Structures are given as structure tokens and as C-alpha cells.
Amino acid sequence: MNQKLYMVSLGPGDAELLTYKALEAFRKCDAICVPTKSPDNSFSKSISHKIVSDALKLLGIERELVAVYSPMRFNHDDWEHEADIILDTLQKHKCVAFVTIGDAGIYSSIYYLLDIIKEKAAHIHKSCEVIPGVTSFSAASAEVQKALCLGDEELLIKPINPRSEVKTTEILMRPKIGMNTEILGEGDFYTFENMYLKDAKITPSKIAKVKKYMTLFINFAKRKSL
Ligand SMILES: C[S@@+](CC[C@H](N)C(=O)[O-])C[C@H]1O[C@@H](n2cnc3c(N)ncnc32)[C@H](O)[C@@H]1O
């Protein structure tokens, strides 16, 4: 059976801020795994459930919703339990979505879950597609019509209550064509050129010389594997 797992970013709360790809994932999937902080698995306090329900209403479709108890305790056993619910759902259905608020790349549990899924079911991990979304702070900026960065400003995203040493991911944008990238330093770099456009290329390192203006670099925080 060809199985498929979508990790869907829900955006900040308004179903109209879901991407077309997110809505298509809901259309294609048989069941949607929805996090809830309630130990009784009810969705009464689940923001994700509200967004998913609104999105399904917009689409005019119904899907099986599977509660995923997510107490947000930063505990490996909790993530393992959540990953098991997703894998169990994939035993019953061919195509399953798991949802996360805002964008999956910002303080979401999905990459903890994907690490566990990779260990337990490599073929499911291979089938997985992560769908990006609107972050809470992009939406906040639009709500008040104030730019997050202009001109030569930088943008800093900080955890208010860090549990351990704070590590940094750097996003480097607006390079000059022809520039030598030595000045960007060393680290866990990826280079993204012309994403989603003609000649799109993702290089899992820092390219030596910039060829296109539509190039961005990410120097990912150094993380221990789980
Ligand atoms: C676990 S993080 C998830 C961040 C999310 N992945 C994103 O892309 O924005 C949860 C934090 O995001 C912020 N957040 C998310 N949605 C929000 C909303 N609708 N309104 C205000 N803050 C929000 C709050 O700071 C909240 O404590």
C-alpha cells in the first residue's frame, strides 16, 4: 500500500490563511490527526481543531479527526506516543495529515515526531511532505501593517522561557550576485536558489559564489539528534 503522510501548517488561526497546498492535503487525506492538550482527548480547547473544522467547512468535506494528546511537556515519551498515534492511523488509512499551528518550521513538534517516525517506519518518513504556512508573526505584522524588517534591519525570534542553552538559526537574505560567501562563516548551511521557480536548487551546504539574487542561506542551529 502506497502510504502518504502530510505535515500541514495551519497558519495563525484564520482558515482563510491556510495555503492551497494545505487545503489540497485535507482533500486528499482520509484522516487528520489533530493535537489537543486535553487528557480526555476532547477538542474543546484545541485551536488546531477549530482551524481544521473551519477549513473542512470551507472545503465542504468531512474527514475522520483523530485526537493526538499533546501536553507540550518537551518529553520524549510524549512525542513517541504522538508519533505512534500517527503511525496507527496510517495502519488504517492510506493518506493521513498531522497538523501544527502557524508554520511547521517555527517552534513546532513536527520535527521531533518526524525523527521518531524515521526510526520506527522509514518508508512513512520518506513519503512525508511538510507544507509550510503563515507564521503568527507574519500575520501579526500584517494585522498592524508594520514591517518586520526594512532596509538594513535584522529580525530576531526568541523563546521567552528557554529551557536550556539558546542556539541560533541564521537566515541570510538579499546577497549580491558574484559575492564570495566566505564572509558568512561556517556552520550547518543550506543554500536555496530560485525556490519553486525554473532552475530551483537546494544545496545542503554553502555555495562558494552567489549566482542569482533569488538565493537565501540558512545556517541551522547545531542540534543533538534525539
Ligand atoms: C509553539 S509556538 C508555535 C509557533 C507557530 N508555529 C508559528 O509559526 O507562529 C506557540 C506560540 O506562537 C505564538 N502564536 C501562535 N499563534 C498565535 C496567534 N494566533 N496569536 C498570537 N500568538 C500566536 C504565541 O507566542 C505562542 O505562544
Residue nearest to atom 19 of ligand 1 (CA): 12
pLDDT single digits (tens) 112-132: 999 999 999 999 999 999 999
Across the range 88-102, mean pLDDT stands at 98
- Cα 64 from Cα 136, distance rounded (Å): 27
Q: What's the average model confidence in pLDDT over 49-60?
A: 98
Which pLDDT band, with edges at 50, 70 and 90, does 205 fall under?
very high
Give the C-alpha separation, 83 to 110, whole Å. Answer: 9
What domains are there in the chain, each with its CATH number?
4-136 (3.40.1010.10), 152-226 (no CATH)
State the Cα–Cα distance between residues 45 and 70, nearest whole angstrom.
12
d(CA 140, CA 79): 29
What value does the mean pLDDT take over residues 21-34?
98
Mean of pLDDT over the chain: 96
Give the model's pLDDT for residue 132: 98
Residues in Cβ contact with 129 at an 8 Å cutoff, skipping those fewer than 6 apart: 4, 5, 6, 7, 25
Please work out whether the CB of residue 102 comes within 6 Å of at least one atom of ligand 1: yes
Q: What is the pLDDT of residue 171?
A: 98
**Residue to mutate, 136, 161, 163, ligand 1, most ligand atoms under 8 Å from C-beta:** 136
Cβ–ligand 1 contact at 108 (below 6 Å): yes
Q: How confident is the model at residue 223 (pLDDT cuts 50, 70, 90)?
A: confident
Cα 193–chain centre separation? 20
Query: Cβ(106) to ligand 1 under 6 A?
Result: yes
Residue 102 CA, ligand 1 centroid: distance in Å:
6
pLDDT at 224 over 80: no
Q: Which residue lies with its CA nearest to atom 5 of ligand 1?
A: 102
Residue 1: pLDDT band (50, 70, 90) is low
pLDDT at residue 137, as a whole number: 98
Does the Cβ of 9 fall within 6 Å of ligand 1? Answer: no
Residue 225 banded pLDDT, cuts 50, 70, 90:
low
pLDDT band at residue 2 under the 50/70/90 scheme = confident
Residue 145's pLDDT is what?
A: 98
Atom 12 of ligand 1, residue of closest alpha carbon:
136
